[in-house]
Structure 1
Amino acid sequence: MYKRACLFALALALCLMPTARAQTSLDAMLDREMASLLATYKALHAAPELSHQEAKTSALVAKELRALGYEVTEHVGKYERPELVGYGVVGVMRNGAGPTVLVRGDMDALPVEEKTGLPYASIVKAKNDAGQDVSVMHACGHDVHVTSLIGTARMLAQLKDRWHGTLILVGQPAEETIDGAKALLADNLYTRFPKPDFAIALHDNADLEINKVGIVPGYALASSTSVDIIVRGLGGHGSKPEATKDPVVLAAQIVIALQTIVSRENSPLDPAVVTVGTIHGGTKRNIIPDEVTLQLTVRAYKEEVRQHIIASIKRIAEGTALAAGVPADHAPIVRVSETEYAPATYNDPVLAERLSTAFTAALGRENVVRMAPVMGSEDFGRFALENHQIPAVIFWVGAVDPAKIAQSRQTGVPLPSLHSALFAPVPEPTIRTAIKAMTTAVLELMKK
């Protein structure tokens, strides 16, 4: 019995030795690259570019991939607005027969004035798509994503003896405006380049401590739908409301009624959100306007829930106006944006479990966290195509000092969130973990 136990322990140790050697090798490679990668990260952070304007960032990605031997195509992406330039970058490395894996890294920044006080903080200003002057900041960590994409490209170019197949690295523009992935697919991404068997991406996380990764099987992020309601009335003098049909009062009634969609029409087992983000109407205190515009965001995981909510918004808006005596030819107009929409991001459960196992071997069980889904949105889900044809996973990478998380819990003061002017990932461990995890994921899916 004792001999059998010893033999089993020896066999297990021998099985684990290649994994241990591989991780030691990857750690050593990262040690050699970190100084260069941190310099790249700080340069990216100091020079952010808005969605649809990622000219310099995309050129950097293309230059880095080309130098590593990838077949690089620039200016990929076709938007519905013809004046917009596609700044997508696709790098392909072929390494014999085997699976095709797509890795996405998003490149754009946000119209936020940075207040981190970092020595490499952004002071960039640019004109947005509307021609307005705005400050620009990497407030969502896409500089981490680009740096990690470059670092992963370097690792996998040096480790070609450990994987086979076709690797596709995508520098994606315009994630923040949720039309970048759609533009890449509209430009025939999956016919101009090999269609992937798997698609993976990462995102830094403002609530997860450094050195950890998080993963969510199933729905990870909600769909995002933008809806406008133009509430029409009959304007007039503020002193004589009886001669009008007041769209301000009507809009207020609609806003309140919309709250019943989630609380009374939707199953509590199917998460959903209906938020009225802006109300615009009127020009002067004593003038009842002719119309008021409401702008909404709708979030849901299931498509049937999303469709039900949209139908309910239309029914409530029209019904409220009818009850107020608004003429039929002045009924509210409900517009659902075709461009400001992203489908829910669904992590293939089998792939998520497979990557979770690989992350556990590479990072340690204590550093792999099962996360809860969130109602935020991403356009990465589009790479999976309709009905989740391509198994896809996006995973989270911790970006916060554990001491700050502990302090936040103790004081009750929230940590700076993504999109905050104060959001500042801890660069070295965040980037190191991101590259190590992504490289591990690709090697797992493409291993010989």
Structure 2
Amino acid sequence: MNRFVSSLTAAAALLATITPSAHAEFDVTTLKKTIAASIESSYPQLDALYKEIHAHPELAFQEVKTAARLAAEMRALGFEVTENVGKTGLVAIYKNGDGPTIMVRTELDALPMEEKTGLDYASRDKTNWAGREVFVAHSCGHDIHMASWVGTAKTLLGLKDQWRGTLMFIAQPAEEIVAGARAMIASGLFTRFPKPDAAFALHAGPFSHGTIFYRSGVGSSAADGLEITFHGRGGHGSAPHTTIDPVSIAARFIVDVQSVISREKDPNEFGVVTIGAIHGGTAGNIIPDSVQLSGTIRSFKPEVRAKLHAGIERTAKAAAAMSGAPAPDVRMAEGTKSVMNDPDVVAATADVLKAAFGDKFRVSPPGTASEDFSEYAGAGVPSMMFNIGVYDQERIDAVRNGGPPIPSNHSPLFAPVPKPSIETGVTAMTLAVLSAFDRHAKGK
């Protein structure tokens, strides 16, 4: 830690000659080099943090050890840390004179799935989830996010002669079940602590490290949960005529509901209905009396969302009616809205990141996955989320030449290359925060 502080002190001295008073005056080339030197000096600690978190992930609202680990890191840097905000979340505040409050968010939680990467730091941890023992894995990149979050905090403190205001670093639980942001807001995130003037988050993705994708406006899809119970009449598998088979009803629904997408929704508009889990029965020769389905509904626009909801309920009832079964129980729970990237925040940040990353800083279409980072914008905080790549370019090129596909987020084989991915995350987020301080200092 002492070596890291010394390196940041030297970096700050070097940067004292750089005054980011306007975007055009940012010496981004020099600034990027200085940030890179600071990251290099602290990378052994960031690498150890990343691999520790990767090897010992925790599920939504169970992230006790992960949160404690990050809290210790931030306290060591001099942040004032409050734990248990939104159950397992934490808020770290660092005040550096008068100025705006800029928020940086990371997620804490992992996924209930088995990692199959074969890495020497792969997770083999298990826990209880929904009443059963499951493996746990950071197969979405939240461990990359956490290491980048801590690295950004360290780097910004080394550059504190370059900004005035308050850093608000939050570590949010339960992003994977889109419940953590609401829990933190309900726990007083914007009443117990300063309401940010701007907020940033990043997300790792299956493209080349050093590349950043961004967009203004809609950045991700809305997400709703779907739970359906089909009721039937159980009996012997050799005498289906004496039963009402809920397995066949569920199968019919799973196929038929896709006609809502292909024949009712405007093909120019995004919408997805996916059934990810089906549970029913105990043995091959027993027809059960009920089957449960779980799924997800994704869309960008409210009118498409409403059409999907109506089509799902109508199709479920029709599938049951065709077999003379009772009406199913259909439950559609609102998850989270689309991420909306604030145009002013994006424009200011894009000026700086384009200068730093050149043609590797690219506009992308909206993502079809969902993110509860959207809740902060919904609470009135101008926000921006961007995406960073995590794979070697050679591996990306191999796919184009007929090689194996790149494992994406939520794949058991998802395996970011740590160092360049974290370096990109820290560099981009540090520059984004500095650009936000500069914009607010100029009253924009």
TM class, shorter-length: 0.7 to 0.9
Change (3 A) 1:324 1:190: same
Change (3 A) 1:128 1:345: farther
After the TM superposition, which residues 284-363 of structure 1 pair with which residues of structure 2 at under 5 Å, given as runs? 284-326=283-325, 330-337=326-333, 341-363=335-357
**Structure 1 segments unaligned to the other structure (5+ residues):** 1-14, 78-85
* Counterpart-to-counterpart distance in 2, 1:439 and 1:210: 17
Which residue of 2 is the match for residue 371 of structure 1?
Answer: 364
Q: What amino acid is the match of 1:279?
A: I
**Secondary structure of the residue that 1:420 maps to in structure 2?**
coil
1:411-437 Cα distance to aligned partner (Å, 9 max, x none): 242112112222221111111110010
1:296-326 Cα distance to aligned partner (Å, 9 max, x none): 2111112332222112211222234345444
Q: What amino acid is the match of 1:377?
A: S
1:359-403 Cα distance to aligned partner (Å, 9 max, x none): 11222x1221222222212221112126xx322111111110001
Alignment check: 8 A CA contact 1:50 1:128 kept: no
Alignment check: 8 A CA contact 2:230 2:328 kept: yes
Alignment check: 8 A CA contact 1:181 1:383 kept: yes
* Counterpart-to-counterpart distance in 2, 1:429 and 1:362: 15
Deviation at 1:253, TM superposition (A): 2.9
Change (3 A) 1:408 1:314: same
Alignment check: 8 A CA contact 2:145 2:203 kept: yes
Which residue of 2 is the match for residue 80 of structure 1?
Answer: none
Which residue of 2 is the match for residue 88 of structure 1?
Answer: 89
Change (3 A) 1:23 1:87: same
Q: Does 1:174 align with 2:136?
A: no
Change (3 A) 1:262 1:62: same
Q: What amino acid is the match of 1:315?
A: R
1:42-61 Cα distance to aligned partner (Å, 9 max, x none): 22222222222222221121
**Secondary structure of the residue that 1:151 maps to in structure 2?**
helix
Change (3 A) 1:233 1:130: closer
Deviation at 1:16, TM superposition (A): 5.4
* Counterpart-to-counterpart distance in 1, 2:404 and 2:141: 21
**Secondary structure of the residue that 1:111 maps to in structure 2?**
coil
Deviation at 1:93, TM superposition (A): 1.6
Change (3 A) 1:133 1:320: closer
* Counterpart-to-counterpart distance in 2, 1:349 and 1:148: 24
Which residue of 1 is the match for residue 8 of structure 2?
Answer: none
Deviation at 1:441, TM superposition (A): 0.3
Q: What amino acid is the match of 1:366?
A: D
CA RMSD in angstroms, aligned pairs only: 2.3
The alignment of Structure 1 onto Structure 2 pairs a total of residues equal to: 417
* Counterpart-to-counterpart distance in 1, 2:368 and 2:27: 40
Change (3 A) 1:230 1:117: closer
* Counterpart-to-counterpart distance in 2, 1:93 and 1:26: 19
Alignment check: 8 A CA contact 2:28 2:352 kept: no
Which residue of 2 is the match for residue 71 of structure 1?
Answer: 80
Change (3 A) 1:99 1:133: same
After the TM superposition, which residues 197-276 of structure 1 pair with which residues of structure 2 at under 5 Å, given as runs? 197-206=197-206, 208-238=207-237, 240-276=239-275
* Counterpart-to-counterpart distance in 2, 1:305 and 1:360: 34
Residue in structure 1 matching 2:37, options 28, 36, 40:
28
**Secondary structure of the residue that 2:137 maps to in structure 1?**
coil
Q: What amino acid is the match of 1:65?
A: M
* Counterpart-to-counterpart distance in 2, 1:358 and 1:399: 21
Q: What amino acid is the match of 1:248?
A: V
**Secondary structure of the residue that 1:49 maps to in structure 2?**
coil
TM-score between both structures, scaled by the size of structure 2: 0.87
Alignment check: 8 A CA contact 2:195 2:381 kept: no
Aligned sequence identity (%): 44
Alignment check: 8 A CA contact 1:107 1:174 kept: yes
Q: Does 1:97 align with 2:98?
A: yes
* Counterpart-to-counterpart distance in 2, 1:302 and 1:417: 25
* Counterpart-to-counterpart distance in 1, 2:315 and 2:115: 40
Which residue of 2 is the match for residue 81 of structure 1?
Answer: none
Alignment check: 8 A CA contact 2:390 2:416 kept: yes
* Counterpart-to-counterpart distance in 1, 2:162 and 2:345: 20
Deviation at 1:136, TM superposition (A): 2.5
Change (3 A) 1:260 1:372: same
Deviation at 1:202, TM superposition (A): 0.4
Moved more, 175-184 or 130-139: 130-139
* Counterpart-to-counterpart distance in 2, 1:243 and 1:69: 71
Change (3 A) 1:424 1:284: closer
Which residue of 2 is the match for residue 393 of structure 1?
Answer: 384
Deviation at 1:283, TM superposition (A): 4.1
**Secondary structure of the residue that 2:114 maps to in structure 1?**
coil
Alignment check: 8 A CA contact 1:212 1:397 kept: yes
Which residue of 2 is the match for residue 6 of structure 1?
Answer: none
Q: Does 1:61 align with 2:70?
A: yes
TM-score between both structures, scaled by the size of structure 1: 0.86
Change (3 A) 1:192 1:33: same
**Structure 2 segments unaligned to the other structure (5+ residues):** 1-23
Which residue of 2 is the match for residue 407 of structure 1?
Answer: 398
Q: Does 1:437 align with 2:443?
A: no
Change (3 A) 1:48 1:231: closer
Q: Does 1:130 align with 2:124?
A: no
**Secondary structure of the residue that 2:409 maps to in structure 1?**
coil
